[in-house]
Amino acid sequence: MVCGRDRMDFGPRATAAGKLLAGAMPDDGRMNVIVFGASGMVGQAVLREVLAEARIDKILVIGRTPLPERPDRVQEIVHGDFYDFSALADDVTGYDACFFCLGVSSTGKKEPEYRRITYDITMAAATVLAEVDPSMAFLYVSGMGTDSSERGRLMWARVKGATENALLSLPFRAYGIRPGFILPVHGVRTKTRLYAVAYQVTGWMYPVLKRLAPGHVMTSEELGLAMVEVAADPPDQRVLDTNDLKALLGAA
């Protein structure tokens, strides 16, 4: 199996991520973070690394449905209307970073439907968070190939580019996270059947891809760790690809 263990591994990991959280943390040296999309592959990866980081204090997960397994350190809000988060303004006050990992495949979707899910939901959450705390870091996972010009031929890339651009115009520290191929490890798995099949078929090629195209591939653990680093010590660069993310970990 490409995805590692059958169940998500929230246990201790060998990587000493404690050194990552520096610089931009609050004066008490601890961070409070929000995770959207924690049940998806990227969200699982982020949640795992957030849980493993002792200097992260409060962890809030916001989703439409409860997590299958909720670790003790996680507070959870189940929210029905993902197009309006205004009722949660008080609940999201006092947080330093948001990891926005929601996403759907564009396969079989027309642009208006995909835009409503991708752009509208993201901006509904982001506008509330920016109003609550303009100093918050907001990390949006867009993906390699995102089209900042919004004029390219690929529909999904245009919509992702429009979403990134809109986020970057808001009064908080927004970041576009653009990983390429992600190898799920430590029990992290995708909910999209097509992607799951692709990982099973191509997962054995990861060592080869890592040698031939290191700037296009990373593990889910590397992605989670790099996103924690961005939130903790925000770089000036606002759009980060695989090479940029790996460089933050010294793994480029």
Q: In what order do the strands lie in the sheet with 97-100?
A: 74-78, 56-63, 31-36, 97-100, 137-141, 173-178, 239-241
Predicted structure pTM score: 0.84
What residue numbers bound the domain in which 152 lies?
29-248
Q: What is the DSSP code (8-state) at residue 141?
A: E
pLDDT, tens digit only, all 252 positions of the chain: 233 334 456 554 433 333 333 335 565 668 999 999 998 999 999 999 999 988 799 999 999 999 988 989 999 999 999 999 999 999 999 999 999 999 998 989 999 999 999 999 999 999 999 999 999 999 999 999 999 999 999 999 999 999 999 999 999 999 999 999 888 886 766 565 555 555 565 666 667 666 776 677 899 999 999 999 999 999 999 999 999 999 999 854
Number of independent structural domains in the chain: 1
Q: Is residue 112 part of a domain?
A: yes
Closest CA to 170 of 141, 142, 129, 231: 129
Q: Is residue 24 part of a domain?
A: no
CATH of the domain at 48: 3.40.50.720
Q: Is residue 11 part of a domain?
A: no
Closest CA to 154 of 199, 200, 188, 107: 107
Q: What is the DSSP code (8-state) at residue 229?
A: H
Q: Is residue 3 part of a domain?
A: no
Structure tokens at 159: 């919509």
Amino acid at 75: Q
Q: Is residue 200 part of a domain?
A: yes
Q: Is residue 216 part of a domain?
A: yes
Q: Is residue 74 part of a domain?
A: yes
**What letters, b where the CB count within 10 A reaches 16 and e where it falls short, cover 184-208?**
bbbbbbbebeebbeebeeeeeebee
Q: In angstroms, rounded to a whole number, what is the distance separating the alpha carbons of residues 41 and 3? A: 10
Q: Is residue 67 part of a domain?
A: yes
Give the contacts of 100 (CB within 8 A, at least 6 positions apart): 36, 37, 122, 125, 126, 138, 139, 140, 141
